[in-house]
Amino acid sequence: MNSLNQVVSLLELSPPPFIFINDPIAPKFTIQSLLLALQNKIRLVQVDGISTFTPRLLYDTILNGLSQHTPSWDDGCRNWSEETSNDSMDSFLRALKALHVSLCTANSEQRVRLALVIEKPERLKERMPDLLAPLTRLAELTRIDLSVVLVSEVRWEDIRPPLGAAIDPYYVDIPVPTKEIIIEHLVKVFEENSSNSDLASTSTTPHSYDPALQETYRHFVHILVDVCFLYTNDPHEIQYISAARWPGFIKPVLDAHRMNVEAAEGGDEVEFERPSTEVLLRLTHHFKPSLSLALEQLYPRLTNAVDWARANVSDAASLAKDGLILGDAVMDDEDEEEDTVNEMLLSSPTRSRSSKRIQEQKAAQDLSSSNLKDTLPLSVSLPRLSQFILVAAYIASVNPVKSDLRLFGRGADEKKRRRRPAKRQMANAKPKSGSVKIPQRFLGPSPFPLERLIAILGALVEENDSNASEVNDPSPDLLDFRIAGERTDYEVTRVGVYASIAQLTSLRLLVRTTSADKLDGLSAMFKCGSGAPSSYETILDLAKGLGVPLPDLIWDNAAMG
């Protein structure tokens, strides 16, 4: 970071009275790097614009920090001050001059240089706008060797005092941290944790931040930065995600070493070995998908790192599948809890499941919940309502919009409107000239709006579900439905249906083609997912199990028939 190095050089050699650093990405990381570079070189203090919300708090914090004075209960929590209390700017300036004189007297051999680093100065403008201009002129008002450094996410033009009261700063723009800078910062934090760890680090009892694991941690950090760098460049945010995932990432290695120590005969000392390249590749393959999940939940602070790490502990079955368990792993204590959680995850949002199907789905969950759709047929792994939604989505993807009314339209006399069958072409008829039209299902799925999916779903459930209670409320007398199909149209718009659509989207069986964060009034667009789970043969098997005549509802088939 050349810009930050320039600031450090200026403060060491010939500091300007006022420096403004604009860092819209990682201001805390900039301040931390600045304080670390200037440590034991000049006398400086860091002030937070949020915690110092009154003038006296600001003055006392500055004086205590520059004098390295810590208030204690023994002396009544008194602040450093040679004179009266700091009730005004004048008394603060007198105290600051007195402090500088005392420091020069104590260090007569070298020149004393002071620096004041203020974080979030925009908060000072909101609460104490009259203090911002005097702070920029502290060197001029006190006539001492002092430099004021403001570090903010906003630009100086947005917080500048009016009427030119403040002097023009030495302006510094901090560039976006690169991957190399973030990686080196995280490795440095690992070294600090290794030296400050309370755990006794020996060759037989390593811990997550053992110095022997530094190269393994560097490998882990490279993967983490590659996943997170597209969404955040703040080293502190990536460090927070690392703290949540690293202990679980290295846990299989530590468990394998512990098992080797326990299996050693005669109490022989077993030296800890670093993970091999093959083990690192297996760890990467197993834990890399969870890094994206950690980013989605920890970056917006939907949960905290401790709870997320506790909720995302890898089970023995998934570790054994990737070859990460070297020995017998017994997890009988968690079987009952896992069965309960699996049953909750696999239950339908609108209908209770049969015990036989739940048992089949529990067996599938033992492999991996993320690979459920690849290990079992969809007719077993999905609720009945989700199967109807997949069939409706496939019909919406391969049929043109104009065919919906002809295939699913219904009049007031409760008779379903059917399109007149097309005339069959005679065997000896001459073929028509021109290009041949390829059926839509061979061209791939086309996007469709959510409203169309709901409409086709209602028609399929009304016509082909003999047990209408699949999406019906258990209290049918609460509302009066007199028109045929009105009740089904009402029920398919319930929250459970939208929850099933969201679940299918997360499983990539449905693909949302519009951005989820755009609120421009347009309808959400979906299409069937790619691959075997959304192929014609798979959907046809689902339709047969549901009693839906899928070939009759495909427009290209009806047109050719």
98: CATH:
3.40.50.300
Residue 456 lies in a domain: yes
Question: In the prediction, which pLDDT does 264 show?
Answer: 73
C-alpha torsion sign, points 258, 263, 267, 271: negative
Residue 372 has pLDDT above 50, yes or no: no
Which pLDDT score is estimated for 499? 84
Q: Helix (H, G, I), strand (E, B), or coil: what is residue 18?
A: strand
Tell me which of 173, 197, 216 is where a domain ends: 173
426 in any annotated domain: no
Average pLDDT rounded to a whole number, residues 516-525: 62
Question: Per-residue confidence at 71, pLDDT binned at 50, 70, 90?
Answer: confident
Question: Rounded distance, CA 325 to CA 267, Å?
Answer: 23
Its pTM surpasses 0.85: no
Same domain as 134, residue 102: yes
Does 315 reside within a domain? yes
Give the model's pLDDT for residue 73: 80
pLDDT in tens, 160-189: 988 888 899 999 999 888 999 999 999 998
Asked whether residue 561 is assigned to any structural domain, the reply reads no
What number of other Cβ atoms are within 10 A of residue 264's Cβ?
12
What's 451's domain CATH number?
1.10.10.2450
- For range 535-560, the mean pLDDT: 78
| pLDDT greater at residue 464 or residue 522 | 464
Residue 516 pLDDT: 66
Quote the pLDDT of residue 182: 92
pLDDT band at 348 (very low <50, low <70, confident <90, very high): very low
Task: Please determine, for residue 515, whether its predicted confidence score (pLDDT) is greater than 50.
Answer: yes
Residues 104/96, Cβ–Cβ less than 8 Å: no
| pLDDT for the residue numbered 88 | 86
**Contact by Cβ (8 Å): 97, 5:** no
Q: Does 428 fall in a domain?
A: no
**Does 504 lie in the same domain as 383?**
yes
Closest to 12 measured CA to CA, from 46, 43, 42, 44? 42
Tens-place pLDDT, residues 377-395: 666 668 888 888 888 888 8
Tell whether the torsion through CA atoms of 256, 262, 265 and 269 is positive or negative. Answer: positive
pLDDT of residue 344: 37
Does residue 161 sit in helix, strand or coil? Answer: coil
**Same domain for 166 and 204:** no
pLDDT (0 to 100) of residue 331:
39
The answer on 148 and 86 residing in a single domain is yes
Domain boundary pick from 131, 152, 173: 173
> Domain check: are 367 and 463 in the same one?
no
**Bigger pLDDT: 249 vs 491:** 249
Task: Say if residue 475's pLDDT is above 80.
Answer: no
pLDDT of residue 347: 38
Helix-helix angle 235-263:277-298, to 10 degrees: 140
State percent of the chain over pLDDT 70. Answer: 72
Q: Is residue 297 one of the residues assigned to a domain?
A: yes
Q: What is the pLDDT of residue 76?
A: 72
Contacts of 195 (CB under 8 A, 6+ apart): none
Q: Which of 173, 201, 231 is the last residue of a domain?
A: 173
Structural domain harbouring 223: 179-373
Residue 438 DSSP symbol = P
Whether residue 278 sits in one domain with residue 169: no
Higher-pLDDT residue of 436 and 295 is 295
Q: Is the pLDDT of residue 342 over 50?
A: no
* Whether residues 217 and 327 fall in one domain: yes
Instruction: Give yes or no: residues 209 and 111 share one domain.
Output: no
- Number of structural domains found in the chain: 3
- Mean of the per-residue pLDDT values for the chain? 77
Lowest mean pLDDT among 420-434, 461-475, 476-490, 521-535: 420-434
User: Same domain for 319 and 392?
Assistant: no
Q: Label residue 228 by pLDDT band (50, 70, 90).
A: very high
**What's the pLDDT at 487?**
66
Percent of the chain with pLDDT over 90: 19
Would you say residue 94 has pLDDT above 80?
yes
Q: Confirm whether 90 is domain-assigned.
A: yes
Task: Report the C-alpha gap between 146 and 42 in whole angstroms.
Answer: 10
